[in-house]
Structure 1
Amino acid sequence: MAKTKLSLAILFLFLMLLSLDLGSSVTTNVKTWCVAKPSARNDSLIANLDYACSVNPEECTQLKDDHPCFNPDTTIHHASFAMNAYYQGMGSHQWNCDFKDSGLIALTDPSYADCTYSGGDTVLDLSTSGKWCVAKPMTSDDLLQANIDFACNHVDCGLIRYGGGCYYPDTLINHASVIMNLYYQANGREDMSCYFKNTGCIVMKDPSYDECKYKF
């Protein structure tokens, strides 16, 4: 009888400890946005833009000439804006930002100047989420190059050099994002380490692709 009581006490204690451990993972409401992967192919971006704008045509009027979000007139920015409008309109579920693995859920507001990316609250458990740093989709080429030059003074940039695993696609936004993330990870994933003069964006989905593995 005594052994049975002892066993029950041990079981009760184990269940209590387990519940405390599960309780450490607390969900919270945070604002999220959807942006295109820096490595996304141009044809994929165009397909995302066309599809998202067919669902939310009113939101996409902001991308027309003489409207706040027309500039920069780049496919990755226009696609990101439309993808985010779709993501928010569909309820901000993680699967609404997949776009055949060409979308990333961002914890940093991609808005700039008079161009506002709508954002909504999402219930997330950030204690189990990874964090990576990429370039914001509207970042100009000169700022992307400046970010590469700065980060390469602090981390090894072999990944984006010819022959490196992240050389292709050979675009500034892809190369900058890879190196900005290396710098961010090397500096303890502090938010300010992904600031880069307000051109960095913290995302909670691994931007890795093919042979290019983003450090985490």
Structure 2
Amino acid sequence: MANGQKTWCIANPLSHDSALAANIEYACSLLDCRWIQPDGPCFEPDTLLQHASYVMNMYYQAYGRHLSDCDFKNTGLVSLTDPSYGNCTFESGGALAEEEPSETWCVAKPGTSDELLQQDIDFACNHVDCSPTHVGGACFYPTNLINHASYAMNLCYQTTDRKNSSCDFRGTGLLVSVDPSYGNCSY
């Protein structure tokens, strides 16, 4: 990344709940996780993906902002777009000393409402083939809106010459520098 480029760590929308729970437990054993507690500004939406993304970013920021600090056994993605929403602020220190990413992907922002994720799916699937997210498709699992929206949003992004504006989706998309593909689900 260019000197001064701010980056964040988020959980891959394809991550299994057990991995997300383990990431939360690990990061919270080392850091103060009160922001994802019921009275904290990052508690809602109360999902493992959102909570894991927040604490994984805390860890990533605290331990040096290197790609390895966001790996979490291949469940982390380095975001080039701020995943903050509402009163939930994802901190970033910037100045990552690594090179500019050669490839980027688009995924849905953790914390996006189901209603907006469905709108993203509807929009994207009117422009690209979303059959891999249907029953029997390589990207059907995990069967949740954020996974399916991420796949569809990325396919739109990739087919529009990877323009930053093609990953905006009314503020619900994030550019990431790590391939979110998992198993047979290829982004």
Question: Is the TM-score greater than 0.5?
Answer: yes
Q: Residues 6-53 of structure 1: CA distance to partner in whole angstroms, max 9, x if unpaired?
A: xxxxxxxxxxxxxxxxxxxx9533110000000000010000001101
Q: Which runs of 5+ in 1 are unaligned?
A: 1-25
C-alpha contact 1:30 1:124 (8 A) present in aligned 2: no
**Post-superposition offset of 1:113:** 1.2
Partner of 1:16: none
C-alpha contact 1:29 1:124 (8 A) present in aligned 2: no
Structure showing greater Rg: 1
C-alpha contact 1:30 1:123 (8 A) present in aligned 2: no
Give the whole-Å Cα distance in 1 for the aligned partners of 2:2 and 2:90.
Answer: 24
Give the whole-Å Cα distance in 2 for the aligned partners of 1:199 and 1:34.
Answer: 16
**Post-superposition offset of 1:192:** 1.1
**Quick one: which amino acid aligns to residue 124 of structure 1?**
E
C-alpha contact 1:35 1:83 (8 A) present in aligned 2: yes
**2:130 aligned with 1:160:** no
Give the whole-Å Cα distance in 2 for the aligned partners of 1:169 and 1:89.
Answer: 30
Instruction: Using structure 2 for the length normalisation, give the TM-score.
Output: 0.96
The alignment of Structure 1 onto Structure 2 pairs a total of residues equal to 186
Question: In percent, how many aligned pairs have the same letter?
Answer: 53
Give the whole-Å Cα distance in 1 for the aligned partners of 2:121 and 2:98.
Answer: 31
Give the whole-Å Cα distance in 2 for the aligned partners of 1:28 and 1:139.
Answer: 29
**Bigger helix share:** 1
**Quick one: which amino acid aligns to residue 48 of structure 2?**
T
**Post-superposition offset of 1:111:** 0.5
Describe how 1:123-142 pairs up with structure 2 within 5 A.
123-126=97-100, 128-142=101-115
Partner of 2:86: 113
Give the whole-Å Cα distance in 1 for the aligned partners of 2:29 and 2:17.
Answer: 18
Give the whole-Å Cα distance in 2 for the aligned partners of 1:200 and 1:191.
Answer: 10
Give the whole-Å Cα distance in 2 for the aligned partners of 1:85 and 1:104.
Answer: 13
Give the whole-Å Cα distance in 2 for the aligned partners of 1:171 and 1:72.
Answer: 14
**Quick one: which amino acid aligns to residue 97 of structure 1?**
C
* Larger RCO (CA within 8 A; separation ≥ 6): 2
Q: Residues 134-162 of structure 1: CA distance to partner in whole angstroms, max 9, x if unpaired?
A: 00111111111110000011011111111
Partner of 2:11: 36
Give the whole-Å Cα distance in 2 for the aligned partners of 1:37 and 1:27.
Answer: 23
Query: What do you get for the CA RMSD once the two structures are aligned?
Result: 1.2
**Quick one: which amino acid aligns to residue 134 of structure 2?**
R
Give the whole-Å Cα distance in 2 for the aligned partners of 1:99 and 1:192.
Answer: 29
2:148 pairs, out of 171, 175, 190, with 175
Partner of 1:50: 25
Partner of 1:102: 75
Q: Which runs of 5+ in 2 are unaligned?
A: none
Describe how 1:17-28 pairs up with structure 2 within 5 A.
27-28=2-3
**2:73 aligned with 1:91:** no
**Quick one: which amino acid aligns to residue 89 of structure 2?**
T
Instruction: Using structure 1 for the length normalisation, give the TM-score.
Output: 0.83
C-alpha contact 1:155 1:182 (8 A) present in aligned 2: yes
